[in-house]
Amino acid sequence: MKRGVYSAIIIIISIILLSMLFLSFNKKTVEKMNLTSPVFENNGNIPSKYSCDGKNVSPPLSISKVPENAKSLVLIVDDPDAPSKTWVHWILWNIPKDTGIIEENKIPNGAVQGVNDFGKNNYDGPCPPSGIHRYFFKLYALDSVLELSKNSGKQDTEEAMKKHIIAEAKLIGKYSRE
């Protein structure tokens, strides 16, 4: 009787260990890239030029440490401090993987702009109704190119890329109209 119990315990432990081993091999490791801007530091203030109070143009961004196996990049800029929901200001996908700089008020060749929460296919800068808001510039390297309609928004983009992310980076800027 004891021998049967010990055998069952050994089988259960073996199954648990094999399951853990299988899960660790199938877990996708997400690498880190660098995303910076020459006009504001991480957690720094975004100049008004890049807001609704200025020229409302996209800020210049620098990208580095993109994995060699990346096929494309995605950039999502949103405001988690907006009153009703996380407000999307800009979506770009199929950015060429060798893009080192996204120039001010420019879209890299081949990139597609999705629909932001202003209902437009372009960058719309910070324009908080009150207080200081944070703006998250989130960059993703994908192992694929996205096949999306230009009418796609953040939810469609995130759904299409979720199993293809191999690296990511984040840059946070702050803005207040006061």
Other CB atoms within 10 A of residue 63 CB = 22
Under the banding of pLDDT at 50, 70 and 90, the label for residue 24 is very low
- pLDDT tens, residue by residue, 90-101: 999 999 999 999
Amino acid at 171: L
pTM of the model: 0.84
Closest to 135 (Cα-Cα) out of 116, 156, 153: 116
Q: Which residue has the higher pLDDT, 9 or 77?
A: 77
Residue 96 in contact with residue 108, Cβ under 8 Å? yes
Closest to 74 (Cα-Cα) out of 146, 126, 134, 135: 146
Task: Pick one of 3.40.50.300, 3.40.50.1950, 3.90.1200.10, 3.90.280.10 as the CATH number of 30-176.
Answer: 3.90.280.10
On the 0-12 / 13-18 / 19+ scale of CB atoms within 10 A, 82 is middle
Structure tokens at 174: 């702050």
Residue 62 has pLDDT above 70, yes or no: yes
Please report, rounded to a whole number, the percentage of residues in the chain having pLDDT higher than 70: 84
Residue 44 in contact with residue 126, Cβ under 8 Å? no
Residue 161 in contact with residue 94, Cβ under 8 Å? no
